Amino acid sequence: MENSSQPMLESDNLTKVYEDGVKAVDKVSFQIYPGEVYAMLGGNGAGKTTTINLFLNLIDPSEGEARVDGIPTHRRPLEAKTRMAFVSENVMLYPGFTAIQNLDYFARLGGKTRYTRKDYKEVLLRVGLQEDAHNRRLKGFSKGMRQKSGIAIAILKDAPAILLDEPTSGLDPKAGREFMNLLENLRNEGKAILMSTHDIFRAKEIADTVGIMDGGRLIMQKKREELRDADLEELYVKYMGGLAEEQMKSDNPS
Ligand SMILES: Nc1ncnc2c1ncn2[C@@H]1O[C@H](COP(=O)(O)OP(=O)(O)OP(=O)(O)O)[C@@H](O)[C@H]1O
Ligand SMILES: [Mg+2]
C-alpha cells in the first residue's frame, strides 16, 4: 500500500443538476487514496451512477469538480481518461468479436500495443473466464461472462484508478466471491477503487470507506475501523429511515 499525500480520486463539492431541474448530486465530497476501496451505497436514484459519470466526464458538473490524480476531469478530460478504467453495469463490448479480440481491440485503443495472446489468456483466467470461452464471440456470452471480459479490459488498461458501477450485479455467487478477491488484489497493487453497489455485506467486507447516498447527498461516510463492530445493514436502514422521517416531519409540521 502506498503512502500518498494526494488522493487519487477526489470529489470536491461535486454537484449535478440535470437539465430538467433534478439535483442528482448535491455537494458531495470524498477522497480515495491509492490502495483504497470506496464503496458507495444508496437506493435507486440516489445519485451513485451520476457521481461516477461525473468522474468519467460523461457529463459536466453544475458546481464543484471531480479530480483524478489532481486533474479536474471536466477541464482536462484527455489526461484524466488515461488515469481511469471503468467497468459499467452493462458492459458494452463488440458482440461479433471474441473475448480475446475484444481485449486486443480495447488495449490497442488505449495505446497498449505490447500485449500478446498469452497476456490476454492470462488476464481472462485471472478474472475467472473459463478457457473454452476465450475464443468465442461475445454475443453468446451471459451477463456475468461479459462483466468478466469488461473487468479484464479494465485490468489491461493498468490505470491507477478503477471505477465500477454495480460490478457484481450480474455475477453468480462463486463469480461474485472471485470478483471480491480480484478487487482485493487490485487494491493491494495500489489502485484507488470507487464502486457503487447494493450489496451491503460485500461493501463492508471490501471497503476501506463506505458512503451512503440519498437524494444526491452523501448522508453517511464511515471508515473500516468505525464499521468493524457495526451492523452496516442496520446503519443503512437507520440513515435512510432517519431522513425519511425528517422529511415527513417537515412536510407535516405538527
Ligand atoms: N440523464 C438524466 N437526465 C435527467 N435526470 C437524470 C438523468 N440520469 C439520472 N437522472 C436522475 O438523477 C437521479 C440520480 O440517478 P442515478 O442514476 O445517479 O442514481 P443511482 O444511485 O445510480 O440509482 P440506481 O441504484 O438505480 O442505479 C435520479 O433522480 C434520476 O432520475
Ligand atoms: Mg446507478
The residue extents of the domains of the chain are 1-83+163-254, 90-158
Query: 4: helix, coil or strand?
Result: coil
Would you place residue 41 in the very low, low, confident or very high pLDDT band (cuts 50, 70, 90)? very high
Residue 84 DSSP class: E
Closest approach atom of ligand 1 to CA 25: 14
Q: Whose CA is nearest to atom 15 of ligand 1?
A: 45
The CATH architecture of the domain made up of 1-83+163-254 is 3-Layer(aba) Sandwich (3.40)
Element (H, E) at 162: strand 161-165
* pLDDT tens, residue by residue, 60-77: 999 999 999 999 999 999
Q: Are 11 and 182 in contact (CB under 8 A)?
A: no
Binding site membership of 24 for ligand 1 (Cβ less than 6 Å): yes
Task: State yes or no: pLDDT of 244 exceeds 60.
Answer: no
Query: Assign residue 248 a region: left if phi > 0, alpha if psi is -120 to 50, beta otherwise?
Result: alpha
Closest approach atom of ligand 1 to CA 216: 14
pLDDT at 2: 46
Task: State yes or no: pLDDT of 254 exceeds 80.
Answer: no
Q: pTM of the prediction?
A: 0.91
For the chain, percent of residues with pLDDT exceeding 90: 74
Task: State yes or no: pLDDT of 1 exceeds 50.
Answer: no
Q: Measuring CA to CA, how many Å separate 101 from each of 135, 145, 149?
A: 8, 15, 11
Average pLDDT over residues 208-236: 94
Pick the ligand that lies closest to the CA of residue 14: 1
Which cell numbers in the block locate residue 252? 407535516
Task: State yes or no: pLDDT of 176 exceeds 90.
Answer: no
**Best substitution site from 18, 20, 55 to test ligand 1's pocket, by max atoms within 8 Å of Cβ?**
18
Q: Are 124 and 149 in contact (CB under 8 A)?
A: yes
Would you place residue 175 in the very low, low, confident or very high pLDDT band (cuts 50, 70, 90)? confident
The pLDDT mean for the chain works out to 91
Binding site membership of 58 for ligand 1 (Cβ less than 6 Å): no
* pLDDT tens, residue by residue, 105-146: 999 988 899 999 999 999 999 998 999 999 999 999 988 888
Average pLDDT over residues 149-168: 93
Give the phi and the psi of residue 242 in degrees, each rounded to 5. -60, -45
